[in-house]
């Protein structure tokens, strides 16, 4: 290994060729596809993406050293952008891009939440790797302990499918935890909110006290809380984990109506 992997940038490179190939195949890349890869690292996954010959490959990598090595490895086959993904707000996020990403675990939830909440961000498909515990939260069912804010944000916008778990042995250096690959397909008909930030705000308020009944927070949101809870068909004795994604969206809609 030429590089000393940087822990601070979550550099655990996927080295199992079998898995790399399977991940790329999940994107069903065709010659008209545009691919965005986030955190390409040493280019292990990129290599397989290049082999599947899409129309365009853009990669975004923060580490300048890795960028230099990617440039000499791939030459003009890919377009490399040396930036922090967290500083990029929109220009690459188009509805015709398929996105691959094995992101550092500490920023993966943040970036997914940002993509869900920004209405101008659109994709064709996302194939993303997460720490297994985070993936379990993203795909959690209502009424389970893993059901969280990110479950609601992600399932509002996407149909999500678990592809497979990946063992630590498939990476160098070996992480301490298991990883999980998820596939996100944009939903055709999403419930529109006036200000998605309200969903962020309301889920934050409720899940900050995830063990408590929703009553106190609900009363704070609505003067006519009794009527509203009946209309939405929720019990004030419920905990946040008992409220489905659709019902959370209805709460936000009622809240937005109230602002009018």
User: Contact residues for ligand SAH (CB under 6 A)?
Assistant: 9-14, 39-41, 44-45, 60-63, 66, 84-86, 102-104, 107
Whichever of 36 and 243 has its CB closer to ligand SAH, that residue is 36
Answer positive or negative: Cα dihedral of 192, 117, 83, 126.
Answer: negative
Nearest distance, CB of residue 86 and ligand SAH, angstroms: 5
User: How far is Cα 81 from Cα 238, in angstroms, rounded to an integer?
Assistant: 47
Whichever of 14 and 140 has its CB closer to ligand SAH, that residue is 14
Cβ-closest position to ligand SAH: 39
Nearest distance, CB of residue 87 and ligand SAH, angstroms: 8
Whichever of 49 and 116 has its CB closer to ligand SAH, that residue is 49
Q: How many CB atoms lie within 10 A of CB 86?
A: 11
Whichever of 27 and 40 has its CB closer to ligand SAH, that residue is 40
Q: What is the CA radius of gyration of the chain?
A: 20
Omega cis (within 30) before 173:
yes
Nearest distance, CB of residue 181 and ligand SAH, angstroms: 11
**∠ Cα 65 59 19 (to 5°):** 95
User: How far is Cα 23 from Cα 104, in angstroms, rounded to an integer?
Assistant: 17
Nearest distance, CB of residue 6 and ligand SAH, angstroms: 7
Nearest alpha-carbon partner for 200 in 117, 120, 106: 117
Whichever of 102 and 151 has its CB closer to ligand SAH, that residue is 102
Whichever of 177 and 219 has its CB closer to ligand SAH, that residue is 177
- Cα(first)–Cα(last) distance of the chain, in Å? 59
Decide if 178 contacts 166 (C-beta within 8 A): yes
Nearest distance, CB of residue 210 and ligand SAH, angstroms: 28
Nearest distance, CB of residue 70 and ligand SAH, angstroms: 9
Write the DSSP string, 137-179. Answer: HHTPPTTSTT--HHHHHHHHHEEEEEEEEE-GGGEESPPSS-E
Whichever of 81 and 142 has its CB closer to ligand SAH, that residue is 81
Nearest distance, CB of residue 228 and ligand SAH, angstroms: 40
């Amino acid at each position: 290994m030429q590089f000393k992997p940087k822990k601070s940038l979550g550099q655990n490179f996927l080295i199992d060729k079998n898995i790399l190939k399977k991940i790329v195949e999940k994107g069903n890349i065709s010659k008209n596809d545009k691919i965005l890869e986030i955190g390409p690292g040493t280019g292990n996954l990129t290599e397989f993406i290049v082999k599947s010959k899409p129309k365009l490959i853009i990669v975004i990598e923060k580490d300048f050293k890795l960028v230099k090595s990617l440039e000499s490895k791939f030459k003009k086959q890919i377009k490399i952008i040396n930036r922090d993904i967290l500083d990029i707000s929109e220009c690459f996020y188009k509805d015709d891009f398929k996105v691959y990403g094995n992101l550092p675990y500490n920023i993966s939830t943040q970036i997914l939440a940002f993509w869900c909440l920004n209405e101008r961000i659109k994709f064709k498909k996302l194939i993303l790797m997460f720490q297994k515990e985070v993936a379990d939260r993203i795909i959690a069912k209502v009424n389970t302990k893993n059901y969280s804010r990110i479950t609601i944000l992600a399932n509002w916008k996407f149909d999500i499918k678990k592809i497979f778990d990946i063992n630590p042995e498939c990476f160098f250096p070996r992480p301490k935890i298991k990883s999980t690959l998820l596939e996100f397909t944009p939903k055709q008909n999403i419930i529109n909110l006036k200000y998605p930030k309200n969903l962020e705000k309301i889920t934050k308020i409720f899940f900050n006290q995830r063990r408590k009944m929703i009553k106190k927070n609900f009363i704070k949101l609505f003067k006519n809380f009794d009527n509203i809870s009946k209309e939405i068909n929720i019990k004030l004795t419920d905990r946040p984990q008992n409220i489905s994604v659709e019902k959370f969206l209805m709460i936000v809609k009622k809240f937005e109506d109230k602002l009018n």
